[in-house]
Structure formats: structure tokens, C-alpha cells
Structure 1
Amino acid sequence: MTEKVVLVDEAGRAIGTQDKATVHHAETPLHLAFSSYVFDDRGRVLLTRRAHSKKTWPGVWTNSCCGHPLPGEPIEAAVRRRLADELGLVPATVELVLPRFRYRAEMPDGVVENELCPVFRVTCSGDPTPDPAEVAAYKWVDWPVGDVHSGLEAALRAALSPWCVLQAQELSRLGAGPAEWPVADPALLPPAAQ
């Protein structure tokens, strides 16, 4: 079965679908996605290294799990599905924290990511069992990621995906730590994600 992503307009309304395999290129259309940050019972966040076979940002360290809701799939269900598929994790909680995050980033080879990408705080227990086609490695680190005061080594900070860096900045503005981030109103999600 061909996986489809939901294309959206500037207001976040669904305007069609496109095959996931062909959506990312030099003129990637705006589409719906999500990012999640998984925290354990010690308050550490799970970072993952994208598989080297990925079309976008192969081998780059990033947040716990990203993905695209299927057409008609509730976005929280998509988060849960991808956490299970990529990392073998069953979340205890999935909470919306950045309902309208949007970014555009270009790789050195010209391939572009262009996403409306709500961000979720997730809690799980236990270590992941990554699918090697999706995740090359993982690491539990202290929050905040990408900050000079974090437990993350300088080399890893420099290697974070562009969306992870931007999201970490926005998340840090919500509060000093993940427990302080308020849960966002789902009515603030882009219309295509409601």
C-alpha cells in the first residue's frame, strides 16, 4: 500500500494528498506532519538518529519520533502508530504542546522539508526497540536539547535536525522543563489535523 501525506494550504486546510515517497524534493509542497518528544520517568528525553537510508536528513540526530498522519487519521493516533512502528513504544500519555509549529528547511542537496508540524510531549517507560529502517541509534539525554547547559555533547548538538533545534527553542519558551509546558487546546491545531 502506498502511504499518502496530507497536503495543506497556508491556513492549514487539507487540499489533497501525495505519495510520501514522492512528496520531498526541491519544491516540496506544504504538508501535515507531527513531531514528538518522548520522556522517561527520570525526565530524560529520547533522541534518535535517523536511518542512513532516509531521503531527508539521513543519519542526523533529531527528536524522538516524527511522521505524517494518513488521510483521515487523527493526529494523536498517528503519533501512537509511528511510536509503535519506529520505536516499539506504547505511550502512557500523548499531549499536544505546540499546535501550530511550522518550518521549512533545505538540505545541501536541495531537498526541502515544508511542514505544518504540531509537536507532542509523550511519556513512556522502558527502552525503545528501534526499526533499523527508521532509526540508526538512540540516546536518552537531559532536557534542554541543543542548549550549552544540557547533558548533550557538543558534537551531538551541532548535528541536530533543523526542526529539532527550532522546536527545542519554542518548547523552552513554554517553561524551563517539560513538566511546565501547558497542554495546548486541540482547537488550535491546523484544520487538517482536527
Structure 2
Amino acid sequence: MLLDETGRAVGTAPKAQVHHADTPLHLAFSLYVFSAGGELLLLTRRAATKTTFPGLWTNTVCGHPGPGEPVGAASARRAREELGLELAAPRLVLPQFAYRAEMGGVVEHELCPVLVVEAPPDAVPSPDPAEVDQTRWVRWADVVEGVRSGGLAMSPWAREQVGQLARLGPDPARWPTADPALLPPAARADQVPGQYS
């Protein structure tokens, strides 16, 4: 979904045609999957064949909702497609995250709400090699410290998100759930029926 500067939908375009040197603003999401209790975060390494930011470590799942698809449902769908994980409904924690980043002449330019969810205790990722080269569980405190020190090389959006998430407190299980009314208009239920639940 392509967006104007206020976050309202202004059209759609195929993903393959959106990411280039002058990428238009569009709607995305980032999902952070934690172990039970929130101590460990499942990091993923983007496949080397990805168009944008290949080979970088990042948060668990990133993606784009389809028109009319709730961001929570889109994140669960992508976790299933990329990692074979069946997850409970995620919680919205950063409804207004936005960023622009460039690598190798390809730009990402997104309004990108951030969601979190706890994985089932028996969850074992089964990565799709077209999407994910590697996974690892890392202590959340180590992720925060690694991003702050520069010792953990991550995608530019994940670096910014980790900084904002750390300000919510040290325990991911206790982060407040954000009001869906703060989502970009294109992702809000009052603008697009069924858009967030």
C-alpha cells in the first residue's frame, strides 16, 4: 500500500516495482518474536538473495500488509511463511515507527508499526531459504547492548527500533500495548474496515 505523507493510502503497487533508488512511502510492519517470558529474541539473517538489505541480521519478521489486511494478521502470516511459526495474535507496541534507509542504491521508505509476540514453548523455526539464511535466539539485554555498542550489526530499521523498544523498559513482557488509533490511517480499523484487530 502506497501512502501519502499523512499515512493515508493513495494506491497499491507490486512489491517488485516499489523498491528502487526513489522508493515511495509505503506501509510495512516489523514483528519481534520472544521466548516465553521475553528473555530471548529470535533474530533472523536476511537471505543473501533479498533485494533490500541482503545478508543482514534483523528482527524476527518484516513485511508488507496487503490492501485491507490487518498488520497483526500480516505479521502472523509472514512468520508462518518465512519461519514456519504458528503464533498467537501479536501486540502493537510502536504504532508510529517510520524510517528511510539506503543500501547499494536501493531505498526502503516505510511507515512500519512494530509488534511483539511470545512464541510457543516448543517453537522451532523452519526458515524459508528464499527469505532467511539463519536464525538465532539472543538475550534481549544482549541485543540492546550490542546495538548500543555497535557490536551487533543489524538492519537500519532494527537498530532504530531496538533503541525505541529499550525505552519502553527492560522487560518485553511488560511493554505497554499501544492504542491502534495511533497507527497510520491506512492501517487503522476506522479507516479501512477490519484493518487491525
Q: Give the whole-Å Cα distance in 2 for the aligned partners of 1:82 and 1:183.
A: 21
Residues 1:153 and 1:165: Cα distance change in structure 2 (over 3 Å): closer
Q: Give the whole-Å Cα distance in 2 for the aligned partners of 1:51 and 1:149.
A: 21
Residues 1:22 and 1:190: Cα distance change in structure 2 (over 3 Å): same
Q: Secondary structure at the match of 1:18?
A: coil
- Cα root mean square deviation, aligned: 1.7
Q: 1:20 aligns with which of 11, 15, 22?
A: 15
1:89 matched to 2:85? The reply is yes
Residues 147 and 159, structure 2, Cα contact 8 Å, conserved in 1: no
Q: 1:110 aligns with which of 98, 105, 110?
A: 105
- Deviation by residue 1:150-178 (Cα, 9 ceiling, x = unmatched): 9x993xx0x20000000000001111120
**Moved beyond 4 Å, runs of 4+:** none
Q: Report the CA distance between 1:93 and its aligned residue.
A: 3.8
Percent identity for Structure 1 against Structure 2:
59
Please, which runs of 5 or more residues in structure 2 have no aligned partner?
189-197
Residues 1:149 and 1:170: Cα distance change in structure 2 (over 3 Å): closer
Residues 3 and 186, structure 2, Cα contact 8 Å, conserved in 1: yes
Counting matched residue pairs gives 184
1:176 matched to 2:170? The reply is yes
Q: Provide the TM-score with structure 1 as the length reference.
A: 0.90
Q: 2:145 aligns with which of 109, 126, 147?
A: 147
Residues 51 and 59, structure 1, Cα contact 8 Å, conserved in 2: yes
Q: Give the whole-Å Cα distance in 1 for the aligned partners of 2:29 and 2:147.
A: 27
Q: What is the match of residue 3 of structure 1? A: none
Q: What is the match of residue 99 of structure 1? A: 95
Q: Provide the TM-score with structure 2 as the length reference.
A: 0.89
